[in-house]
Amino acid sequence: MPSRCFQETFKYLILMIFITATSLAGCQSLDREETPATDKLETKKQIVTNSLDSGNPAQALKEVRALMEEYPANPEVLNLHGLIQLSLRNNQKAAETLEKAHQIQPENMTYVLNLSSAYIQGGQHSKATRLLNETIKSPAAKSYRYRERLFHNMGLIAELSGDSVRAERWYGRALEENPTNFMTLLKMARILESTHRNRLAIDKLETAKAACARCPEPVEGMVRILVKENKLTAAKAALDGYEKNESLTEDDTRRIVEMKRMIAKSKAR
């Protein structure tokens, strides 16, 4: 399930952003005893991440700057700094810092993805394309367990460049790798809807809904399509089912109200 922090901070542009390389390190088969220095770094990184997750990127930036004074060449710290700058829309600063992390560990897919995301958000599509193309051909990418994330960002570049055909192709490759990737399903559904393949779009949205039952985006897409097709009973049923979810936030409730208005407005015509 995509994190709430991700949805709220980057909802205007779906990017493949990952906070640390911890998950990659955790896949190794080596037993590693934590040293006090490593323990200290992890604790400080967690404090920064908590500030970011709580919707306070300015505080997180202050904390990570202090951390960078202690660990100026640590790629995970550089990566964290880049993501915070990205959340503050400081795209150029984000790219500069993420480039340093990538230079230190060029085969780390987390840093590649985050750097490509900084380029995309900053409108540097050619740089992002070159980076991702080179990475996709690399031996490291062939063994990367989340290859769909690379393909997703390539699809995003194509979509933002106005090439929906190429975007669909890349999103299709991402879904071949991982048929339940939430963000890719949403993007593919949008393309299918825009090309009047509504049944296929709803199929993708149903899969996305199964992947994240409490996320409003799949239901919003389904309601929008069903209202356009004047299938108001089906639209209301989809919304009613979602409204029964017990873990809805204030923002989810607001979006439910908007969907109800959409259905009511269509009924009144």
Where are the domains positioned within the chain? Answer: 4-20+42-213, 214-269
pLDDT score for 37: 57
Confidence of residue 41 (pLDDT cuts 50, 70, 90): confident
Cα separation of 167 and 243, whole Å?
32
Average pLDDT over residues 69-79: 93
Number of Cα atoms under 13 Å in the Cβ half of residue 229: 17
- Does residue 110 contact residue 24 with C-beta atoms inside 8 Å? yes
pLDDT score for 11: 38
Number of Cα atoms under 13 Å in the Cβ half of residue 2: 25
- Does residue 156 contact residue 171 with C-beta atoms inside 8 Å? no
Average pLDDT over residues 256-267: 95
Confidence of residue 36 (pLDDT cuts 50, 70, 90): low
Tokens representing 138 are 């690399």
Tell me if residue 5 falls in helix, strand or coil. helix
Per-residue pLDDT tens digits for 191-250: 999 999 999 999 999 999 999 999 999 999 999 999 999 999 999 999 999 999 989 999
pLDDT score for 35: 43
Predicted TM-score (pTM) above 0.95? no
- As a whole number of Å, the CA-based R_g of the chain is 20
pLDDT score for 269: 77
Question: Which helix (H) or strand (E) segment is 207 a member of?
Answer: helix 198-211
- Does residue 63 contact residue 84 with C-beta atoms inside 8 Å? no
Cα separation of 64 and 220, whole Å?
36
For residue 181, give the nearest of 157, 155, 149 by alpha carbon: 149
Would you say residue 138 has pLDDT above 90? yes
Per-residue pLDDT tens digits for 81-129: 999 999 999 999 999 999 999 999 999 999 999 999 999 999 999 999 9
Dihedral (CA of 93, 99, 105, 111) sign: positive
Return the ∠ at Cα 238 (arms to 5 and 173), rounded to 5°.
60
The fold of 4-20+42-213 is: 1.25.40
Burial class (CB in 10 A: 0-12, 13-18, 19+), 231: middle
pLDDT score for 235: 97
- Does residue 117 contact residue 124 with C-beta atoms inside 8 Å? no
Per-residue pLDDT tens digits for 141-194: 999 999 999 999 999 999 999 999 999 999 999 999 999 999 999 999 999 999
Q: What b/e string do you get for 100-126 counting C-beta neighbours within 10 Å, with b at 16 or more? A: bbbeebeebbbbbbbbbbbbbbbebbe
Task: List Cα–Cα distances, 14 to 4, 8, 24, 42, in angstroms.
Answer: 13, 11, 22, 28
Tell me if residue 18 falls in helix, strand or coil. coil
Task: List Cα–Cα distances, 190 to 51, 82, 196, in angstroms.
Answer: 33, 29, 10
Average pLDDT over residues 247-255: 94
pLDDT score for 1: 41
